[in-house]
Amino acid sequence: MLEGRRGWPLQLAMEMLVAVGRAYDAEAMIPVTSAHLVIDGTALGDPGVELFERLVADGARFAVPVSINAIAVDRLAVARGEPLSEPQRGQLRLLEACEKMGALASCSCNPFIQGILPRFGESVAWSESATAPFVNSVIGGRTNREGATALASALTGVTPKYGMHLDAGRKGGVLFKIDAPMAGLHDFNLLGTLIGRRAAGRIPVLGGLSRPTRDEFVGFSAAFAIVCAEAMYHIVGVTPEAPSLEAAFGGPAPAPIVIGVSDLDAERARTSTSTGDRVDVVSIGCPHASLEQMQEVAALVAGRSVRDGVKFFLHTNRSTHDAARMAGVLEPLARAGVQVTTDNCAVVSYDRLPVGTTLATNSTKMALFAKAVSSAAIRYGSVEDCVSVALADRGADVPGH
């Protein structure tokens, strides 16, 4: 591959992997069993479209199963006949090129709710910051936080053996004792951001937590990764490589840093930058909402209506959307005025939140993105809090329900 005897796509991909491997003193190339690609058109633009289409035209094909992260287009809106802008067409061309090379158009930053799950001990090449901590920590699969290298591994089927692929690279570096009750997903999101910041480049080991739900694990992973470069955490007695403190650290544990209620409150205050009554947009589903989260929102909005002037988005992917339709969840959401978006979100979209938006969300990752991309003011809370601010106008109750 490196010598170009199997074509320029594999040569280019292998050159990239060899360069990364050399930079990290990797001892070998090892096979991967899958790859997860970020092909966000707002980031890749026209050069990305050109590269992917040239790869297809020159015969490149993926060597392993490949899934795709959220894209910047809602494909159900396209199916409904909504007009497409030129950049949106480019995004769909990127996706089509990936499909031609063999990818599954899963289009989600939460492939775990779609059943796309590496197995314990498997080496994979997954991009999207939030997915890597879940793969490493919750499943015990092995991936570095890949970027363009995920494409190179998808084409070649290998990755350099360094970092998360080494036993020594997966040991804890700092211990936190959680001494605060967790009230659900929004608290795990807060905790993820707090731990990510305090871990400061070390793999954190958490004690004192009982087993999170799948959605709480996903939320914690995404929130952790948005502020921390590490690709892994351990929860003692819960995650598979941390049956004990000693196992998590590969030796004696350091003294713990205690995280109490006041620390979580401070993180909440740091995230919530808006104190007034205003809300323009509600965003639930970062990472993409599971069927259970959609059911929760549907139950909370049943018989009510989103008030005028508020946009309420529930972000998910097409397969979860289909499951929600079959479960009868979409109808109450639509009746209340909740817009279910598929495959994209309020950030990964060409229709970004207007600058100065006041956003209500239960996701610290969405909050940080919205602050950075749209200078948004944030109202942070649980799903119930977000629903209640969207429906707060009593005059908006739907009569007869």
Tell me the DSSP string of 105-172. Answer: ----S-GGGGT--PPTT-B-EEBSTTHHHIIIIII--B---BSTHHHHHHHHSEEE--GGGSGGGGS-
Residue 259 sits in the site that holds ligand F3S (CB under 6 A): no
Q: In the numeric block, which tokens belong to residue 313?
A: 């988005």
318 touches ligand F3S by CB under 6 A: no
* C-alpha to C-alpha distance for 22 and 30, rounded to whole angstroms: 14
CB 143 within 8 A of CB 122: no
Contact flags string 94-113 toward ligand F3S, x per CB under 6 A: ---------------x----
> Which residues fall within 8 angstroms of residue 11, CB to CB, at 6 or more apart?
1, 2, 3, 4
Strand-pair partners of 142: 123
Binding of residue 37 to ligand F3S (CB under 6 A): no
Residue from 103, 130, 139, 206 binding ligand F3S (CB under 6 A): 130
Binding mask 168-187 for ligand F3S (x = CB under 6 A): --------------------
* Total residues at interface with ligand F3S (CB under 6 A): 14
Using CB under 6 A as the binding rule, whether residue 286 contacts ligand F3S is answered as yes
Does the footprint of ligand F3S cover residue 348 (CB under 6 A)? yes
Do you find a cis peptide bond into 287, omega within 30 degrees of 0? yes
**Beta bridge partners of residue 103, listed in sequence order:** none
**Beta strands 204-207 and 174-179, pairing class:** parallel
Q: How far is the CB of 301 from ligand F3S (least distance, A)?
A: 20
CA distance 370 to 390: 18
Contact region for ligand F3S (CB under 6 A) — 19-27, 186-194, 365-373, 379-387?
365-373
Q: Which is nearer to ligand F3S, 242 or 282 (CB)?
A: 282
Which region, judged by CB under 6 A, interacts with ligand F3S, from 238-246, 253-261, 271-279, 345-353? 345-353
User: Of the two residues 134 and 249, which places its CB atom closer to ligand F3S in the complex?
Assistant: 134
Using the contact rule CB under 6 A, the part of the chain among 42-50, 74-82, 316-324, 364-372 near ligand F3S is 364-372
Instruction: Mark 368-389 as b/e (b = at least 16 C-beta within 10 Å).
Output: bbbeeebebbbbbbebebbbeb
| Closer Cβ to ligand F3S, 156 or 364, answer by number | 364
- Identify which range of 168-176, 272-280, 362-370, 375-383 contacts ligand F3S by CB under 6 A: 362-370
DSSP states of 68-95: E---SS-HHHHHTT----HHHHHHHHHH
Among residues 145, 161, 186, 365, which is the contact residue for ligand F3S, using CB under 6 A?
A: 365
In the range 186-245, which residues lie near ligand F3S by CB under 6 A? 222
Whole-Å CA distances, 72 to 110, 147, 320, 347, 358: 15, 18, 17, 8, 22
Q: According to CB under 6 A, which one of 369, 380, 386, 391 is a site residue for ligand F3S?
A: 369
**Whole-number Å distance between alpha carbons of 378 and 393:** 19
Residue span binding ligand F3S (CB under 6 A) among the ranges 4-12, 26-34, 297-305, 341-349: 341-349
Nearest-approach distance from CB 220 to ligand F3S, in angstroms: 13
Of the candidates 227, 287, 290, 271, the one whose C-alpha atom is nearest the C-alpha of residue 385 is 271
Asked if residue 287 binds ligand F3S (CB under 6 A), the reply is yes
Identify which of residues 108 and 123 has a Cβ nearer to ligand F3S in the complex: 108
Closest CA to 101 of 72, 143, 58: 58
297 touches ligand F3S (CB under 6 A): no
Tell me the C-alpha distance between 38 and 163, whole Å.
21
Question: From the CB of 318, what's the least distance to ligand F3S, in Å?
Answer: 14
The residue among 114, 109, 77 whose CA lies nearest residue 92 is 77
Q: How far is the CB of 385 from ligand F3S (least distance, A)?
A: 19
Which positions lie near ligand F3S, rule CB under 6 A? 70, 109, 130, 222, 286-288, 315, 345, 347-348, 365-366, 369
